[in-house]
């Protein structure tokens, strides 16, 4: 029966294609979100989620929450096509889109780490 189905698919042009997939990565970074410049924390995280290829943003650790700013460690998940370099994406797309791209946000660029999600 399987052979018959395979012959039928070939006949009607529905041969199985190579599977397409994306590699999922996560980056962690320290961010400071101003309470006096730009939007609030929720709105700011929505702007981060709007960056191309970003799929999730979550707070991992809260360092301080003062009247002036909110500081914490954030995890940002993103997807890339197979073979794309995550360091290049982080350096040339993600970080510039956050700081200076989003008003009221500053990054500690030396704190950025990343790894592939399995």
The domain limits of the chain are 19-116
Q: What is the pLDDT of residue 24?
A: 95
Task: Give me the count of residues in the chain.
Answer: 118
The fold adopted by the segment(s) 19-116 is Alpha-Beta Plaits (3.30.70)
Distance CA 74, CA 45 (A): 10
pTM exceeding 0.85 = no
Q: 11 in helix, strand or coil? A: helix
- Tell which wins on pLDDT, 38 or 5: 38
Task: Please check the confidence at residue 2 and state whether its pLDDT lies above 80.
Answer: no
User: pLDDT by residue (tens digit) across 42-97?
Assistant: 999 999 999 999 999 999 999 999 999 999 999 999 999 999 999 999 999 999 99
Sheet hosting strand 105-116, strand order edge to edge: 54-65, 69-80, 23-34, 105-116
Q: What is the pLDDT of residue 15?
A: 52
Nearest residue to 26 via CA among 65, 80, 68: 80
């Amino acid at each position: 029966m399987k052979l018959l189905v395979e012959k039928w698919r070939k006949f009607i042009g529905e041969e199985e294609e190579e599977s397409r997939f994306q590699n999922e990565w996560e980056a962690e970074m320290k961010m400071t979100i101003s309470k006096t410049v730009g939007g609030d924390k929720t709105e700011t995280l929505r702007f981060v989620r709007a960056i191309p290829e970003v799929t999730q943003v979550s707070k991992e650790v809260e360092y301080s929450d003062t009247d002036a700013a909110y500081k914490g460690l954030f995890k940002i998940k993103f997807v890339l096509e197979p073979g794309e370099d995550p360091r290049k994406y982080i350096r040339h797309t993600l970080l510039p889109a956050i700081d200076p791209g989003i008003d009221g946000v500053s990054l500690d660029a030396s704190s950025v780490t990343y790894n592939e999600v399995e």
